[in-house]
Structure 1
């Protein structure tokens, strides 16, 4: 069988960029069981409630929903189990220090296959207040309106 190359997106947490100020991102591998990988290859996962934590020098991903594999038997996995993240020791220490000192949280942004291996993009983020969300929404709308107007002027409308 030919080796997989490239990046195949499985799931994205689109609401995370709306609810959080993203400060830094990391790419981490995942420790998965066989039925979890098969379920991910079918493109089934949800990152909505997911978050990360550092526990005794190890990084963990919690509350990420990977549904059970349809053709799995007694070997099927729990849908929301703790999954170990594969990061370098330096990255784990950096993340742990920043989450404790600055009050940041670890959230998953996307889940994908990169060269045949399951990866998750993590973000160190700070929660937005309600007025911040409205402000960023208004900024995005204003930039869209400006781009639309520039396009109209270029077309001569």
Structure 2
């Protein structure tokens, strides 16, 4: 019998976070994926450098690739240093890849990375979301709801 997946991922050290993703997209499902990195990329991420603000994931030839993520060159690296914006392969099960491919092709969804982090065992992981884009009215409603929650908290603080 398969081991049940945990409800929340074991995030020990968050390196990069895409904070605009939840504003720009309706997040349907969230998955944890491994990421294939070179040695200097891992060292650079351990120093807390890296960005996934403009990145996305795509399914190509039965593999999932993280595109446009920026991991700067390692400062103490030598001639074997990595290329900062290269596509990086994500490590997923075939069933998950097939699910992503079907959702992207048929339903018009997008694969958006939410964060890069190191788990409890020290492995670099990507939190990947299957998401649907919001239109301008949905974004306005999100902003209105966020402002109301902030005002409500302020009013409760003042009257308590």
Please report the TM-score for the alignment, with normalisation by the length of structure 1: 0.91
1:93 counterpart residue number: 98
Secondary structure, counterpart of 1:11 in structure 2: strand
Secondary structure, counterpart of 2:112 in structure 1: strand
Q: CA offsets per residue over residues 63-109 of structure 1, 9 Å max, x none?
A: 00000001111100110101110011111111111111110011110
1:151 counterpart residue number: 157
Structure 1: which 5+ runs fail to align?
none
> CA 1:47–1:6 in 2, change beyond 3 Å: closer, same or farther?
closer
Is 1:69 the counterpart of 2:98? The answer is: no
Is 1:25 the counterpart of 2:30? The answer is: yes
Equivalent of 1:39, from 32, 44, 54? 44
**Which structure has the greater CA radius of gyration?**
1
Is 1:116 the counterpart of 2:116? The answer is: no
Is 1:15 the counterpart of 2:20? The answer is: yes
1:81 counterpart residue number: 86
Q: Structure 1 residues 37-46 or 13-22, which shifts more?
A: 13-22
- Distance in 2 (CA, whole Å) between partners of 1:65 and 1:6 is 20
Q: CA RMSD in A?
A: 1.3
Is 1:137 the counterpart of 2:143? The answer is: yes
1:53 counterpart residue number: 58
Kindly tell me the number of residue pairs found equivalent between the two proteins: 150
Q: CA offsets per residue over residues 128-149 of structure 1, 9 Å max, x none?
A: 1122111100011112222322
- Distance in 1 (CA, whole Å) between partners of 2:39 and 2:129 is 26
- Distance in 1 (CA, whole Å) between partners of 2:12 and 2:94 is 25
- Distance in 1 (CA, whole Å) between partners of 2:11 and 2:22 is 24
Secondary structure, counterpart of 2:54 in structure 1: coil
Q: Is the 8 A contact 2:13 2:118 kept in 1?
A: yes
